[in-house]
Amino acid sequence: MKDTLTNKLGSFQSTLGIADQPENQPLWQNQPPQAFSDGIAAVRLAVAALGKAGKDQSIRTSGSTAALKLLRGQFITALHPLARATFQCLTSLGRTEDAAKVDLTPSDLHDLRAITLAGTGETVLELAEPLTTTTPPNPAAPGVNYGVTAAKTTALDGLWQKYSTAVGAPMGVRAKRKAMTTALPGQFAAVEQQFAVLDDLILQFRGTPAGDLFVASWFNARHADALGHRSAQPAPAPAPEPQTATGGK
Chain segment 8-46, per-residue pLDDT in tens? 888 999 999 999 999 999 999 999 999 999 999 999 999
Average pLDDT over residues 127-136: 90
Residue 136: predicted pLDDT: 78
Say how far apart CA 54 and CA 6 lie, in whole Å: 8
Say how far apart CA 164 and CA 92 lie, in whole Å: 30
User: What does pLDDT average to over the chain?
Assistant: 83
**Distance from the first to the final alpha carbon of the chain:** 71
Say how far apart CA 144 and CA 97 lie, in whole Å: 21
Question: pTM for the whole thing?
Answer: 0.48
Say how far apart CA 83 and CA 128 lie, in whole Å: 8
218 neighbors 15 (Cβ within 8 angstroms) = yes
Say how far apart CA 56 and CA 187 lie, in whole Å: 14
Residue 61: predicted pLDDT: 44
Residue 151: predicted pLDDT: 93
Write out the DSSP string of 120-177.
HHHHHHHHHGGGGS--TT-SS-TTGGGT--HHHHHHHHHHHHHHHHHHTPPP-HHHHH
Say how far apart CA 242 and CA 104 lie, in whole Å: 73
Band (167; pLDDT cuts 50, 70, 90):
confident
Residue 2: predicted pLDDT: 57
Alpha helices in 168-208 (DSSP H): 173-179, 183-201
164 neighbors 175 (Cβ within 8 angstroms) = yes
What Rg do the C-alpha atoms of the chain give, in angstroms? 28
Residue 174: predicted pLDDT: 66
Residue 196: predicted pLDDT: 94
Band (119; pLDDT cuts 50, 70, 90):
very high
Say how far apart CA 180 and CA 182 lie, in whole Å: 6
Q: What is the pLDDT of residues 174-228, one digit of tens each?
A: 666 565 556 677 788 899 999 999 999 999 999 999 999 999 999 999 974 333 3
Residues in the chain: 249
Residue 82: predicted pLDDT: 97
Residue 229: predicted pLDDT: 40
Q: What is the pLDDT of residues 76-108, one digit of tens each?
A: 999 999 999 999 999 999 999 999 999 999 999
Residue 139: predicted pLDDT: 80
Which residues 6+ apart lie within 8 Å of 133 measured at CB?
Answer: 141, 150
Say how far apart CA 225 and CA 120 lie, in whole Å: 43
- Strand (E) or helix (H) holding 83: helix 65-92
Residue 223: predicted pLDDT: 79
214 neighbors 27 (Cβ within 8 angstroms) = yes
Q: What is the largest CA-CA distance in the chain?
A: 93
